[in-house]
Amino acid sequence: MVTGASLRDLDFTVEGNPSKIAHELEKGGARIISEDEKLRHVEVLFAGDCEGSISAARDDHYVRPGTRPEIRWSTIMEDLRRRDFSLNAIAISLNPASRGLLLDPTNGLSDIERAEVRALTIHSFTNQPVRLLRVLRFAARMGFKIEQRTQEWFDLAIERNLQHTIAPEDAGGELRAVAREERPSVVLKAWEERDLLEAINPVLAKKHPAYDAIGRLMRVREDLFTAGFRPRLAAPMLLAILGRLKEREQANILQKAGFRSAEVESALGFEEESLEAQRELTGRKMDAPIDAFRFLEKLPLDQIAYLMAESNKSAALSKIRAFLNKWRPVRIALPAVATELEALGMPRGAKFDQIVDQVFAMQLTGRGKTPEEREKILRKLSGIKEPPKKKEKEKKAAAPASHSRRAAPGKKSHGRK
């Protein structure tokens, strides 16, 4: 919000337990993705497919640098001060008494104006070595440079080989994060330049990410944005990143990175699920545009994106493009058809909705493009006849033509001779 960049997610911090709030949000359409009771952290997918989280304000107390911290529940200001980098230590108060107040105890706004990523303490990388990956990810994402002292601390941590002490589950968290980035290739290449990709997994570092597959998926993301979608492409992007590895190697990386068994199965089965959807889409049951539309409308967007990036089936791709660029705009304009039907005198109800759906199916085949054509279709389906034409009024008797009367011929005067 501060930088003017597109909104990526919504992260909330509360002084207390966020679980109750998260479950209340579920009633309004949000979905809880995961919940960490120990850290009091809840990952949420808000209505409208906006990712976010709700966390309890806390302070991490280190007995000495590099040890596991003791978690202490705290105030929002203490929570901001214990963050990794100053640009992550900014918040906006939602408290009724101070709503809209900018909370910036570490002067992160100034660092954003200077386009710098600044660590908050000399022990930042010692306490959490995974920040070596994270600082490069933030710098690559935002096009920022690393602040001078932070760069010195970073270089010192590399000299001490702290990158080799990154916990596998922490590295897995960064793998998840890079799969959600808008420009993952930039982040991955920044890691490779610093020989930090090995911290994710040595096999991935040796075989390298599948940058071609990542690029194709990024172009598809732009197409989906243009079509009015907000795609969440973590699953296909994860497969693209690991695309040069064998399935067994992919499974090994995900398991070591702390992915749950169900997550590993879901990730590795994603490609087959997408291909099965493609087979169904190109089958005879999907010959009618309305059937293909209904199928694609329910198909997860990440599977659509995967097929757009990887499929070589022209029949499937043509239907997907028609769905995005032709059929959906017609569907969005369908309320206008309902208004036209209502104007003809058709009361709303089950039959009303059925007729609107029938017209929509016809529109997908190219019929009913003009209001006049739609009116004819609507009248035929609804049984509403055109009003009788007004009878022509009898022609008024034509007024007698005005003839200029000639003066009566006068008698000839006979002159005397």
Tell whether 166 is covered by a domain.
no
Q: Is 201 helix (H, G, I), strand (E, B) or coil?
A: coil
304/370 Cα distance (integer angstroms): 31
The residue among 308, 299, 356 whose CA lies nearest residue 333 is 356
Same domain, 341 and 375: yes
Q: For residues 53 and 35, is the Cβ–Cβ distance under 8 A?
A: no
Same domain, 340 and 304: no
Tell whether 180 is covered by a domain.
no
Within a 13 Å sphere around the CA of 88, how many CA atoms are in the beta-carbon half?
Answer: 16
3-state helix, strand, coil in the chain (%, to 5): 55, 10, 35
Tell whether 361 is covered by a domain.
yes
Structural domains of the chain, count: 2
119/89 Cα distance (integer angstroms): 10
Same domain, 317 and 343: no
Q: Alpha helices of 114-233 — where are they, by DSSP H?
A: 124-127, 131-142, 148-159, 168-179, 184-193, 197-200, 202-207, 211-226
Tell whether 373 is covered by a domain.
yes
Instruction: Going residue by residue through the chain, which has 417 residues, state the pLDDT in tens, using 9 for 90 and above.
Output: 566 666 668 899 999 889 999 989 988 888 998 888 888 999 998 877 788 999 999 999 998 888 888 999 999 999 999 999 999 999 999 999 999 999 999 999 999 999 999 999 999 999 999 999 999 999 999 999 999 999 999 999 999 999 999 999 999 999 999 999 999 999 999 999 999 999 999 999 999 999 999 999 999 999 999 998 888 899 999 999 999 999 999 999 999 999 988 889 999 999 999 999 999 999 999 999 999 999 999 999 999 999 999 999 999 999 999 999 999 999 999 999 999 999 999 999 999 999 999 999 999 999 998 999 999 999 999 999 888 776 555 455 455 554 544 444 444 444 444
Tell whether 343 is covered by a domain.
yes
pLDDT at 411: 47
Tell whether 304 is covered by a domain.
yes
Same domain, 319 and 337: no
47/28 Cα distance (integer angstroms): 8
Residue whose entry in the numeric block shows the structure tokens 């679980």: 19
For residue 299, which amino acid is it?
L
Same domain, 371 and 338: yes
Within a 13 Å sphere around the CA of 292, how many CA atoms are in the beta-carbon half?
Answer: 26
Tell whether 29 is covered by a domain.
no
134/143 Cα distance (integer angstroms): 14
CA 73 to chain centre: 33
- pTM for this one? 0.83
User: Domain of 361?
Assistant: 333-382
- For 89-119, the DSSP string reads S-EE---TTTTT-EE-TT-HHHHHHTTEE-B
Tell whether 351 is covered by a domain.
yes
